[in-house]
Amino acid sequence: MATIKEVLNEQRIYAVMNKVPILREAEVPLFEDLIAMYQPRQVLEVGTAIGYSTLLLARHLGPEGHITTIELDETRCELAKQWIDQAGFTNRIQVLQGDATELISSLKGPFDLVFLDGPKGQYLKQLQAILPKLTVGAAVLADNVLFRGYVRGDKEVPHRFRTIAKRLRMYLETVEDKSQFNTTIYPMGDGMSVSIWKGQTVSHETDD
Ligand SMILES: C[S@@+](CC[C@H](N)C(=O)[O-])C[C@H]1O[C@@H](n2cnc3c(N)ncnc32)[C@H](O)[C@@H]1O
So what's the pLDDT on residue 173? 97
Spans of all domains in the chain: 4-197
With residue 184 as reference, give the H or E element that holds it: strand 181-186
Mean pLDDT calculated for residue range 148-170: 95
Residue 162: count of CB within 10 angstroms of its CB: 11
Give the architecture-level CATH label for domain 4-197. 3-Layer(aba) Sandwich (3.40)
Share of the chain above pLDDT 90, in %: 91
Separation of CA 138 and ligand 1 centre (Å): 22
pLDDT at 46 over 90: yes
Q: Where are the beta strands (DSSP E) in 31-158?
A: 42-46, 66-71, 93-97, 111-116, 134-143
Is the distance from the beta carbon of residue 80 to the nearest atom of ligand 1 less than 6 Å? no
Q: Which of 24, 46, 48, 148 should be mutated for ligand 1, with most atoms under 8 A from CB?
A: 48
pLDDT at 105 over 90: yes
Confidence of residue 205 (pLDDT cuts 50, 70, 90): low
Separation of CA 100 and ligand 1 centre (Å): 9
Residue closest by Cα to atom 16 of ligand 1: 119
Ligand 1 atom with the shortest distance to the CA of 103: 20
More confident residue, 200 or 46: 46
Q: Give the Cα separation of 146 and 172 in Å (integer).
A: 9
pLDDT per residue as tens digits for the range 7-42: 999 999 999 999 999 999 989 999 999 999 999 999
Q: Where are the alpha helices (H) located in the chain, listed in sequence order?
A: 4-18, 28-38, 52-59, 74-86, 100-103, 123-130, 162-175
Mean pLDDT calculated for residue range 71-86: 98
DSSP state of 155: P
Query: Is the Cβ–Cβ distance between 146 and 152 less than 8 Å?
Result: yes
So what's the pLDDT on residue 2? 86
Share of the chain above pLDDT 70, in %: 96
So what's the pLDDT on residue 203? 52
